[in-house]
Amino acid sequence: MSKATGGCFCGSVRYEIDGEIRNSTVCHCAGCRRASAAPALAWVTVSADSFEIAQGRLATIRGRKGEKGTCDGCGGERRFCPKCGTHITFVADDRTGEVDVTTGSLDNPDAFPPEKDEGLRSKIAWVKPFA
Ligand SMILES: [Zn+2]
Ligand SMILES: [Zn+2]
């Protein structure tokens, strides 16, 4: 078990992870890229019951399977700070027991280096894989 904390750019959203970080990835899919306006988006995966909003609330944007905004065709919910737009979580429809949390919103992203790249078929040509 590990404990991690994080939050959004403007400081209105804070969250805590009290549980194992299962997975550390960088996703190159078009949905993650557009939702974050970054060339690729790093994620850690935790169990849903270990993720808790400590302050503020999140706004939700839904993407159904195959639609714009999904992660390589995987439907789910992306959650953001409603004030500053920082992308905080993704919950995929086919693994609702888990929450993907943006590594870049963690207070200590150094502790979670990526172990693999995902969504490589959508990768921008000038972006090198991270793992
Ligand atoms: Zn914010
Ligand atoms: Zn993605």
**85 alpha carbon, closest ligand:** 1
Taking the centre of ligand 2 as the mean of its atom positions, its distance from the CA of residue 27, in whole angstroms, is 5
Output the pTM of the full model: 0.93
Residue 94 vs residues 28, 75, 111: alpha-carbon distances, Å? 19, 8, 27
pLDDT for the residue 62: 87
Nearest partner of 93 among 60, 44, 118, judged by Cα: 60
Residue 61 vs residues 16, 42, 105, 113: alpha-carbon distances, Å? 21, 19, 18, 27
Residue 123 vs residues 67, 118, 131: alpha-carbon distances, Å? 18, 9, 14
Taking the centre of ligand 1 as the mean of its atom positions, its distance from the CA of residue 56, in whole angstroms, is 9
Taking the centre of ligand 1 as the mean of its atom positions, its distance from the CA of residue 15, in whole angstroms, is 12
Taking the centre of ligand 2 as the mean of its atom positions, its distance from the CA of residue 19, in whole angstroms, is 23
pLDDT for the residue 63: 75
Taking the centre of ligand 2 as the mean of its atom positions, its distance from the CA of residue 87, in whole angstroms, is 12
Pairwise pLDDT comparison (102 vs 121), residue with the higher score: 102
Mean pLDDT of the chain: 92
Nearest partner of 22 among 112, 129, 130, judged by Cα: 112
Whether 100 contacts 92, CB under 8 Å: yes
Say whether pLDDT at 111 is over 70: yes
**79 alpha carbon, closest ligand:** 1
Tell me the pLDDT tens digit for each residue of 58-73.
Answer: 999 987 766 665 666 6
Q: How many helices (H) and strands (E) does the chain have?
A: 1, 10
pLDDT for the residue 118: 93
**74 alpha carbon, closest ligand:** 2
